[in-house]
Structure 1
């Protein structure tokens, strides 16, 4: 079984993904069986399947790098459980970089 998820990248994040601002992807419902796919699984899946360059600007340790705002269905992921949030079919997940050079 798979889940259909919409991913969006902005604030400069799209540069890491070959200038793609969004993607609709199908991911396994359980990347680490028997557990359902959660945000941490999704972050690693994105790194392994979509990220085109400079993974250090997207991921740090086991999560997104500090300075990246993550929204799950228009809600800050901190209110949804962050890495433990279980991905659902139809979720809309946005990654926005708040870090800018000068």
Structure 2
């Protein structure tokens, strides 16, 4: 069984508006049989943190196009995207690159 892990989640570029304006969240994901990955994290975020308009953050089982995801300051595309296995004390940043005008 995988132990619980602590993460720092950051929401920037307007994404924080979907989370009651909270930009930084320190969360503890519960222990589970398999290690946590970003795919599972997105489901957890949707169920536990996302306050409004999930369609602006989640599309299918991933983030909506226009949301940049960084894991420990590296683009998640270099880390395996949804399959990246989260580690205790990882920092995951979600930055909305879409802005109204």
| Coarse TM-score class (shorter-chain normalised) | over 0.9
Aligned partners of 1:54 and 1:44: how far apart in 2?
15
Aligned partners of 2:43 and 2:67: how far apart in 1?
15
- Could you tell me whether the CA contact under 8 Å between 1:28 and 1:37 is conserved in 2? no
Q: Tell me the CA shift for residue 91 of structure 1.
A: 0.1
Give every structure 1 segment of 4 or more consecutive aligned residues whose post-TM-superposition deviation is greater than 3 Å: none
Q: Secondary structure at the match of 1:89?
A: coil
Unaligned runs of 5+ in 2: none
Q: Is residue 80 from structure 1 mapped to residue 61 from structure 2 by the alignment?
A: no
Q: Tell me the CA shift for residue 28 of structure 1.
A: 2.1
Post-superposition CA distance 1:49-99 (Å, at most 9, x none): 000000000100110000000000000000000000001000000000000
Q: Secondary structure at the match of 2:28?
A: strand
What count of residue pairs does the alignment treat as equivalent?
A: 99
What residue in structure 2 maps to residue 20 of structure 1? 22
Alignment of 1:25-44 (within 5 A): 25-30=27-32, 33=33, 35-44=34-43
What residue in structure 2 maps to residue 50 of structure 1? 49
Unaligned runs of 5+ in 1: none
RMSD value, Cα: 0.8
Q: Is residue 97 from structure 1 mapped to residue 96 from structure 2 by the alignment?
A: yes
Normalised by the length of structure 1, the TM-score is: 0.94
Normalised by the length of structure 2, the TM-score is: 0.95
Q: Tell me the CA shift for residue 46 of structure 1.
A: 0.4
Q: Tell me the CA shift for residue 29 of structure 1.
A: 3.9
